[in-house]
A and B are shown apart, each in its own frame.
Chain A
Amino acid sequence: MSNYAGPSATRSSDVAGTLRLLAYLVLSAVLILLDHRGDWLAQLRGHASVAMQPVWWLAGLPSRLGEGLRDDAATRARLAEENRQLRNELLLGAARQARLQVEAEENARLRGLLGAAERGGLDVQLAPILDVDLDPTRQRLMLNAGTRAGVRRGQAVIDAGGLVGQVIEATPTTAVVLLLTDPDHAVPVAVARTGVRLIAYGTGRSDLLELRNVPLSSDVRAGDVLITSGLGGRFPPGFPVGTIAALRPDDSRAFLVGDVRAAARLDRGRDVLLLRGTGAAGEAGDADEADATGAPDVADDAAGADAASGAEVSP
């Protein structure tokens, strides 16, 4: 403003500036509290996110271009090597799956004997990850597929390793996934070996979960594999969540606290799978699944076939 004004003018402009600062500080503090406390701002944020989409698209562009370039520039030898490796993995996977198929059939038979409701196969959808760095204190992931591709709030997200998280926000062309490791996230789990039910909380670190309040008497050891228990209804049962890395007594010495290594590759992959209509009606035949999976904008045929075959693994 006026640098050569007299002292009184300077003072009054100083006061006005300070008042404006206070006004803005109060305004932002109110926003922060509202956003921290409750869901009141969710609607607003949803609308604002729609306006943000071009920005995210632009920010993700370099990495997409880079990937394209890398794919184009890959030498024949490297492609052949990768091809060989993938073929091996496919072979291994197919063999493992054949074995599981037998077990799945047996499982279904036993279930029939028990009179339990048959769980249908999985219906999944492939969604590419939009490669942008969001706020580093929060564990989030942005997907390049939104409500237009059928993504809904609350869908569970998995990858080849296991559970990744859940969709918390879906706009027409993007969706935000809350990762298992976010401090706001908790997932009901069961120890695969014994069936002991626990809850795994996120820690804010990119590959670590935490078990709290594990009773000293419960049969839980380091090295145990945790799977989703299906309680709470948000996540379907039977998906790997992680492996217990260490158990130690908590501050009260009455319970144990466990560190869990996440099973999924949470740091950075290219795609994830979204579960659709999990478990509910057992309508799924393989052909149906492949059809349903081949949603035009998201999954190509190969992915559809993959997803369908993946569905057979866990009955």
Chain B
Amino acid sequence: MIARGRTWVLPVSVLLALLLGLLPMPGLLQALRPYWLALVLAYWVIEDSERVGLGFAFCVGLVADVAFGGLLGEQAMRLVVMAFILQRFRTQIRFFPMPQQALAVGGLLLNDRVISAILHLALGEPLLPAAYWWAPLVGMLLWAPLFVLLDALRMGRGARL
């Protein structure tokens, strides 16, 4: 990668993802809310692995834990696991066609839900209602538009592809 692209897109996108996670939603949509932070982070791990790695994922997760008022460290752990898997398969995933990439991200989001469920079960914390298991699907559908949007923002108008 020669052109790094604009540097402000990374913090702004992460902040926006955080806000989207906190935005109040009506009851049913609340369950379908995709894990924005994971989606945005996945993009950065795939596209800019020099700046965004496990440490970044961990820090973002901690901030999210404080912001959402959940268990401190839970999202940090989930995001680190996701970032690690993405790093491992980064070279493959980068050259997947878009539908296949979306499918992979969907799988990761589902895995993330499973990790969170296991954590909550192990600690005796309450579990999320069943409707929340649809959220990874929504996240998967949103992957392609999000990817294109972030790419366009980072690289300037339609520079790549």
Same assembly: yes
Contact B22 A55 (CB under 8 A): yes
State whether the Cβ of A261 lies closer than 8 Å to any Cβ in chain B: no
B interface, over-half SS: helix
Find out whether the CB atom of B70 lies under 8 angstroms from the CB atom of A21. Answer: no
Interface string of B49-76 (1 = CB under 8 A from A): 1000011001001110011111111101
What 1/0 mask marks residues of chain A from 27 to 47 whose CB sits below 8 Å from any chain B CB?
111111011100001000100
Selected contact of B54 from candidates A21, A49, A136, A204, CB within 8 Å: A21
Shortest CB distance B116–A (Å): 9
Query: A62 with B23: in contact, given A25-B80, A28-B61 (CB under 8 Å)?
Result: yes
Q: Establish whether residues B72 and A133, one from each chain, have CB atoms under 8 Å apart when the complex forms.
A: no
Query: A24 contacts B80, CB within 8 Å?
Result: yes
Chain A residues near B67 (CB, 8 Å)? Answer: 52, 55-56
Is residue A285 within 8 Å, beta carbon to beta carbon, of the partner chain?
no
Partner pick for B24 among A45, A132, A204, CB 8 A cutoff: A132
With contact pairs A55-B22, A60-B24 given, residues A138 and B77 touching in the complex (Cβ less than 8 Å) = no
- How far does the Cβ of A7 sit from chain B's closest Cβ, in whole Å? 14
Scan B111-153; emit 1 where CB is below 8 A from any A CB, else 0.
Answer: 0000000011001011110001000000000000000000000
Inter-subunit contact B123/A134 (CB<8 Å) = no
Cα A1 to Cα B51 with chains together (Å): 11
Q: Which chain A residues border B61 with CB–CB below 8 Å? A: 28
Asked if A59 meets B19 with Cβ closer than 8 Å, knowing A132-B24, A133-B25, A137-B70, the reply is yes
B120 touches A31 (CB 8 A): no
- When the two chains form their complex, are residues B19 and A32 in contact, meaning their CB atoms are under 8 A apart? no
Indicate whether A63 reaches chain B with its CB closer than 8 angstroms.
yes
Q: How many residues of B contact A (CB 8 A)?
A: 44
**What's the tally of chain A residues with a CB closer than 8 Å to chain B?**
44
Check if B30 sits within 8 Å of A133, measured CB to CB.
Answer: yes
Given contacts A136-B128, A137-B70, contact A32 B123 (CB under 8 A): yes
Asked, given contacts A29-B77, A136-B30, A136-B128, whether A41 binds B84 with beta carbons under 8 Å apart, the answer is no
In the complex, A138 Cα to B67 Cα: how many Å? 13
Task: Please tell me which one of the listed residues A14, A45, A63, A136 contacts residue B66 in the complex, with CB atoms under 8 A apart.
Answer: A45
Contacts of A131 in B (CB 8 A): 24
User: Which of chain A's residues 108-142 have a Cβ closer than 8 Å to chain B?
Assistant: 131-138, 140, 142
Q: Which residue of A lies closest to B120 (CB)?
A: A137
- With a cutoff of 8 Å between Cβ atoms, the chain A residues found around residue B18 in the complex are 55
Residues in A with CB closer than 8 Å to B72 are: 31-32, 34-35, 41, 45
Given the complex, which residues of A lie within 8 Å of B7, measured CB to CB? none
Q: A282 within 8 Å of B by Cβ? A: no
Contact A28 B58 (CB under 8 A): yes
Q: Determine the distance from Cα of A36 to Cα of B27 in the docked complex, in whole angstroms.
A: 27
Answer whether A48 and B74 are a contact pair too, CB < 8 Å, given A17-B88, A132-B23, A137-B125.
Answer: no
- By beta carbon, the residue of chain B nearest A202 is B126
With a cutoff of 8 Å between Cβ atoms, the chain B residues found around residue A48 in the complex are 66
B104 contacts partner chain A, Cβ-Cβ < 8 Å: no
Q: Which residues of B contact A52 (CB under 8 A)?
A: 63, 66-67
Mark each residue of chain B from 76 to 103: 1 if its CB lies under 8 Å from any CB of chain A, else 0: 1100110010011001000000000000
- The chain B residue with its CB closest to the CB of A130 is B24
Tell me which of A30, A49, A133 contacts B23 (CB under 8 A): A133
Q: Are A21 and B84 in contact (CB under 8 A)?
A: yes
A68 to B: closest C-beta gap in Å: 15
Is A137 a contact of B66 with CB atoms below 8 Å?
no
Q: Is A28's CB under 8 angstroms from B80's CB?
A: yes
Q: Are B80 and A138 in contact (CB under 8 A)?
A: no
Q: Which residues of A contact B (CB under 8 A)?
A: 1, 3, 14, 17, 20-21, 24-25, 27-32, 34-36, 41, 45, 48-49, 51-52, 55-56, 58-60, 62-63, 131-138, 140, 142, 176, 183, 204, 267
Query: Which are the 6 A-B pairs with shortest beta-carbon distances?
Result: A31-B73, A59-B22, A135-B70, A204-B126, A28-B77, A35-B72
Give me 13 A-to-B residue pairs in the complex whose CB atoms sit less than 8 angstroms apart, sorted by A's number: A20-B54, A20-B55, A24-B80, A28-B61, A29-B77, A32-B74, A35-B72, A56-B22, A58-B19, A59-B19, A133-B22, A138-B69, A142-B69
